[in-house]
Amino acid sequence: MKFTVAIDGPAAAGKGTIARAVADHFGFAHLDTGLLYRATGRKVLAGMDPVEAAESLTPDDLRAPDLRSAEVAAAASRVAAIPELRAALVDFQRRFARREGGAVLDGRDTGTVICPEAEAKLYVTASDEVRARRRYDELRASGAETTLDEVLADLRARDARDAGRDVAPMRPAADALLLDTTDLSIDAAVAEAVAHITKRIGQGRD
Ligand code: DC
């Protein structure tokens, strides 16, 4: 059975949490596509050519301990605007999306560019302030020194770059369910996502 769930949206809106929960619920494989860009950005920060960095990614690169840092996030967003670099990462993501047994991908362009034929699509958002607070709490828990204002400014800069680039800009697919998690608990957001996907599974492939 092939069934793809594409979950897109801005940073810290909750799409990663929802994607993991949905993958667990349905027994689908999960790919956090942002990790591909973060791992590439990390190699570029270390001096590598951007396209070469993307072409030479290994599973170990995706397990690097510092991929969640603010510096790597900003580098990921910068390198993600390079068309040749995105092109180098497309095949892997498409194969993952159409694997047997079902797949959940989360990112910025999974429902628009990587897998426009995805059977279920969600676009997860939340207010800037709530997203900044969530990311701030995560960063502080991991020991990072930062302020809420700094995190909010970083998020806004990253969203503007991710939505404003020419190639595969962040935007909702026309057929995506919009899920605003500003006032939703994790459980409630996951329940909405699961209900939508269950409905799409019931409708079969059309
Ligand atoms: O989801 P994330 O915060 O880990 O993503 C980090 C950056 O990678 C994000 O700011 C833009 C880029 N990205 C992208 O361009 N396309 C994707 N499908 C996923 C991430």
Q: Is the CB of 158 under 6 A from ligand 1?
A: yes
For residue 46, pLDDT beyond 80: yes
Q: Once rounded to an integer, what is the mean pLDDT over residues 1-22?
A: 96
Q: Once rounded to an integer, what is the mean pLDDT over residues 39-48?
A: 98
pLDDT at residue number 204: 75
Q: Is the CB of 107 under 6 A from ligand 1?
A: yes
Q: Where are the domains of the chain?
A: 4-193
pLDDT at residue number 201: 95
- Residue from 17, 31, 33, 134 whose mutation best tests the ligand 1 pocket (most atoms within 8 A of CB): 33
β pairing state of 120-125 and 103-107: unpaired
Cα(111)–Cα(120) distance, rounded to whole angstroms?
Answer: 9
Whole-model pTM? 0.96
Beta strands in the chain (DSSP E): 4-8, 29-32, 103-107, 120-125, 177-180
Q: Identify whether the C-beta of residue 134 lies closer than 8 Å to the C-beta of residue 10.
A: no
Write out pLDDT tens, residues 139-176: 999 898 999 999 999 999 999 999 999 999 999 999 99
Cα(70)–Cα(84) distance, rounded to whole angstroms?
Answer: 24
Span from the CA of 110 to the centroid of ligand 1 (angstroms): 10
For residue 206, pLDDT beyond 80: no
On whether the 4-193 domain is CATH 3.40.50.300, my answer is yes
Residue of the CA atom closest to atom 4 of ligand 1: 34
